[in-house]
Structure 1
Amino acid sequence: MTIKSSFATTTGRFSYWFLHTFMKGGSSLPGQIATNLDPAVLKNLTKNYDVIIITGTNGKTLTTALTVQTLKQKYDNIMTNSTGSNMMQGITTAFLAHHPKKGQKQLAILEVDEANVEPLCRYVEPKAIVMTNIFRDQMDRFGEIYTTYNKILAGVKLVPNTTLIMNGDVPLFSSVELPNPKIYYGFNHQPDGEMLAPSNTDGVLCPVCQHIIHYKFISYSSQGKFYCPNCGFKRPELTDQVTAVNEMRPTSSQFEINQAPFEISIGGMYNIYNALAAYSVGRFLDVPVSDIQKPFTQNKKVFGRQEVIQLKDKAVTLVLVKNPVGLNQVLQMISSDPEDFSLAMLLNANYADGIDTSWIWDGEFEDLLKHHIPTVITGGERRDDITFRLKVAGVTDEQLHETADLDATLAAIEAAPTKHVYVLATYTAVLQLRKKMAEANYIKKGLSV
């Protein structure tokens, strides 16, 4: 360790201690201080770790949490950035906060923002990189899906010996020849047919020849058993696969991976993909299948990911939404609820949310509103946008309650005529709502559930 790196590490750890002892904590500032003093400090901090990166548009947080729970069956001291701070400063802070046992190789499971894979791989050679999916998201930061993939790819090319654990149902992930060892996971739960993705779906073109891509079946969006009739590009062979989806409810999913039964206490097909990714990491690190089944069944709710908060006599299910594909998967999940429910949507457009809110127009609210929803609540800093979108979808003046602030939002939720309320919110809106709920003692402060 150089004097420069040692000083940066010591200063960063002191700032972390000070912020968490005397202030309200800090998930990125200690890392920012340390990297300002030594841009390569992360290289020293990670030297005794095997690192696994989890990246992609949707599912990073839950996949990371499920992976950690899975690997706890074998490893007793796993470092992870559980605050969700997934850029370089936040990742550095997570390492500063963790004190590994001397002389032992440690394991780090990191949720990593797509644009931060490359800067991280300059200092760290991961044992594996997990890629969940690529969808249109935060257009002001990433642009289209090809730009996002190229950001990830730039990091992958720095670490040719790292194993890539990839969603094989995403055409982009197998479209570029790479020297890395590869593991593909995906769905094989339906008989083959013949279909095309809807025209407004992300990635309808073959990434090799730009011909319209075809599918034997589609799980959702542009994911599925794809092939190109023009150039022969097709889905790679899968190592790990969902072989059956037996039941999906808003609060649970039952399915099979490689013919073995699994259950998670969270709804939505997109979350089965997250569980499948965690399974693949577990098997990559030789965790027995039976040891993976247990933590899946007992998985804990993750901040903003279908956590249920009791608000007086209302059960409030809080769900993070941030792009059209994720939103539509959430709307489909809600539609499977056999009980009556009310709906709220809180829309912000800060940097962490993505300042472009046009994605709400790709949300299939019209299909959801075929169900009887007595009360629809809107709020957030861009409440006018989501209110107008829902009116266009068919929400009536009698159903609609537009709220000017979070106090009014909570009051509207408490006054809803149903016992269950789904609250869909963008990232900073989730933070603001949870802070307000913590102040009212409905939940504990912080990000833990």
Structure 2
Amino acid sequence: MTIKSSFAKTSGRFSYWFLHTFMQGGSSLPGQIATKIDPAVLKDLTKNYDVIIITGTNGKTLTTALTVQILKQKYQNIMTNSTGSNMMQGITTAFLAHRPQKGQRDLAILEVDEANVEPLCRYIEPKAIVMTNIFRDQMDRFGEIYTTYNKILDGVKLVPNTTLIMNADVPLFSSVELPNPKLYYGFNHLPDGELLAPSNTDGVLCPICEHIIHYKFITYSSQGKFYCPNCGFKRPELMDQVTAINELRPTSSSFEINQEPFAISIGGMYNIYNALAAYSIGRFLDVDVADIQAAFTSNKKIFGRQEVIQVKDKEVTLVLVKNPVGLNQVLQMIESDPEDFSLAMLLNANYADGIDTSWIWDGEFESLLKSGIPTIITGGERRDDITFRLKVAGVTEQQLQETADLDATLRAIENAPTKHVYVLATYTAVLQLRKKMADHNYIKKGMSV
């Protein structure tokens, strides 16, 4: 350890203690301070850790949380960036805040922003890198899906001995020859057929020859059992697979992995993918199947991921949305609710959300008309954009209730005509709404439920 590194760690840890103790914060700034003093401080901070990186467009936070729940069945001292601060300064802060056990290697499970895989891999050699999916997201930062994948690859190429645990249903992930050991997971729950993805879907072209890719079945978007009739590129063999989906409800899912039964207390097929990724990580680290089953039923809710918050007499389900694929999966999930519900949509366009809001036009809001929703509340800093989009979708003036600020949004939720209200919100809108709920004592302050 150098003097500079020691000073960087001491400064970072002191700032974390102060911010965490007196400000209920400190998820990013301590890491920023430490790396300002020593840009390579992570190399020293991580020297006694085995690190698992989880990256991709959607599902990083839930996959990370489920993975931690699984690994707690076997490992005692696990470090993770549970606040969701997944860029370099936030990851550095997480290591500064954690106290490793002396005389042994600890385990670090890290949610990592796609563009931060490469700078992180300059300082550490992860035990595994997990890739969840690639969709259009934050176009101002990433552009198209190929740009996003290349950012991840830039990091992977620095660590050729790291095992790659990848979603095999995403064609991009097996399109580049890499020397790394590879484990693939995916779905195998339907009989083979013959179909194409809709023309406006991300990644409909073969990444090898640019012919239109074909599918034996599709789970959602461009994911599924794919093959190219032109060049022979096809989905790789699966190590772990969803072999059946038994029930999908807005608040729960039951399914089978490798013919073994599992259940999670969260809805949506996209979340079964997250559970499958976490399962694959658990098995990679030799956690027993029975322990994984138990971990999935521990019923811990994750910040912004289908949290259920009691607001007076209303059950409010808060769901993060940030791109059209994720949004459409959430809409499909809530439409399966057999009970009446109201809906709120809060749209911000800050850097953490993505400043380009054009993605809402690819959201299938027209499907809402089938659900007979009595009240649809709009809010957020870009409320005019989402209100107009919903009007174009056919939502009536009688249904729509536009709110000028978060106080008005919360009042509208409190006065909704149904007991259950789904709130779909972008990242900074989730933070702002949770702070407002904390001010009204509906939840505790900070990131945890």
Say whether the fold is shared (TM-score over 0.5): yes
Please state if 1:256 is matched with 2:248: no
1:416 to partner: Cα distance: 1.0
Other structure's SS at 1:79 match? strand
Matched position secondary structure for 1:355: coil
Partner of 1:273: 273
Distance (whole Å) between structure 2 residues aligned to residue 364 and residue 24 of structure 1 = 38
SS in 2 for 1:20: helix
Runs of 4+ aligned structure 1 residues displaced above 6 Å come to none
For residues 336 and 293 of structure 2, what CA distance do their matches in structure 1 show? 25
Q: What are the Cα deviations for residues 121-152 of structure 1, in whole angstroms up to 9, with x where unaligned?
A: 00000000000000000000000000000000
1:175-190 to 2 correspondences below 5 Å: 175-190=175-190
Partner of 2:165: 165
Matches within 5 A, 1:194-343: 194-343=194-343
- For residues 419 and 369 of structure 2, the distance between their equivalents in structure 1, rounded to whole angstroms, comes to 18
Q: Which residue of 2 is the match for residue 356 of structure 1? A: 356
Shift of 1:191: 0.1
Matched, 1:422 2:422: yes
Find the aligned partners of 1:7 and 1:381 in 2 and give their Cα distance. 41
SS state at 2:58 partner: coil
Distance 1:388 1:87 in 2: 33
Distance in 2, Cα, partners of 1:78 & 1:24: 22
Do the aligned residues in 2 keep the contact of 1:352 with 1:428 (CA within 8 Å)? Answer: yes
In 2, the alpha carbon distance for the partners of 1:371 and 1:330 equals: 14
Number of corresponding residues: 449
Q: String of CA shifts for 1:348-381, please: whole Å, max 9, x gaps.
A: 0000000000000111111122111000100000
* RMSD (Å), alpha carbons: 0.6
Partner residue of 2:405?
405
1:316-345: per-residue Cα shift (whole Å, max 9, x none)?
000000000000000000010000001110
Taking structure 2 as the reference length, the TM-score comes to: 0.99
Pairwise CA distance, 1:205? 0.3
Deviation at 1:19, TM superposition (A): 1.5
The match for 1:380 is: 380
Distance, in Å, in 2 between the alignment partners of 1:371 and 1:28 is 41
Q: CA deviation at 1:285?
A: 0.5
The Cα of 1:299 is off from its aligned counterpart by: 3.3
Partner of 2:47: 47
User: CA offset at residue 25 of structure 1?
Assistant: 2.1
How far is 1:23 from its partner? 2.7
Partner of 1:4: 4
The answer (yes or no) to whether the contact 1:377–1:402 under 8 Å persists in 2 is: yes
What residue is the counterpart of 2:113 in the other structure? Answer: 113
Range with bigger deviation, 348-357 or 24-33: 24-33
Q: What per-residue deviation string (whole Å, max 9, x for no partner) do you get for residues 46-104 of structure 1?
A: 00000000000000000000000000000010000000000000000000000101111
Secondary structure in structure 1 of the residue aligned to 2:101 = coil
Partner of residue 33, structure 2: 33
Q: Is the 8 A contact 1:140 1:356 kept in 2?
A: yes
Q: CA deviation at 1:414?
A: 1.2
Question: Residue in 1 aligned with 2:191?
Answer: 191
Q: Which amino acid aligns with 2:243?
A: T
Q: Secondary structure at the match of 2:344?
A: strand
CA distance in 1, matches of 2:267, 2:55: 21
Distance (Å, rounded) in 2 between the aligned partners of 1:281 and 1:338: 34
Secondary structure of 2:373 counterpart: coil
Deviation, 1:21, is 2.2
Aligned AA (1:174): S
Give the letter for the 2:276 counterpart: L
Q: For the Cα contact (< 8 Å) 2:25–2:446, is it kept in 1?
A: no
CA distance in 2, matches of 1:366, 1:314: 26
Query: Is contact 1:86–1:113 with CA below 8 Å preserved after alignment?
Result: yes
| Contact 2:24-2:446 within 8 A present in 1 as well | no
Equivalent pairs: percent with the same residue? 89
Does the aligned pair in 2 maintain the 1:332–1:368 contact within 8 Å?
no
CA distance in 2, matches of 1:436, 1:339: 27
Q: Distance in 2 between matches of 1:68 and 1:350?
A: 29
Instruction: Name the aligned partner's letter for residue 98 of structure 1.
Output: H
Partners of 2:24 and 2:296 lie apart in 1 by 32
- Aligned-pair CA distance for 1:22: 2.7
SS of the aligned residue for 2:165 comes to: strand
Question: Counterparts of 1:187 and 1:81 in 2: how far apart (Å)?
Answer: 28
Paired residue secondary structure (1:418): coil
Partner of 2:102: 102
Give the SS at the match of 1:369. Answer: helix
Q: Counterpart amino acid of 2:206?
A: C
8 A contact 1:169–1:226 mirrored in 2: yes
Alignment partner of 1:130: what SS? strand
Contact 1:70 1:282 in 2 (8 A): yes
Measured in 1, the distance between the counterparts of 2:163 and 2:368 equals: 40
How far apart in 2 are the matches of 1:301 and 1:230?
45
TM-score, normalising length: structure 1: 0.99
Contact 2:53 2:128 in 1 (8 A): yes
CA distance in 1, matches of 2:246, 2:368: 23
**Corresponding residue for residue 74 of structure 2:** 74
- Three-state SS of the structure 2 residue aligned to 1:431 is helix
Where do 5+ consecutive residues of structure 2 fail to align?
Answer: none
2: CA distance between counterparts of 1:36 and 1:428? Answer: 26
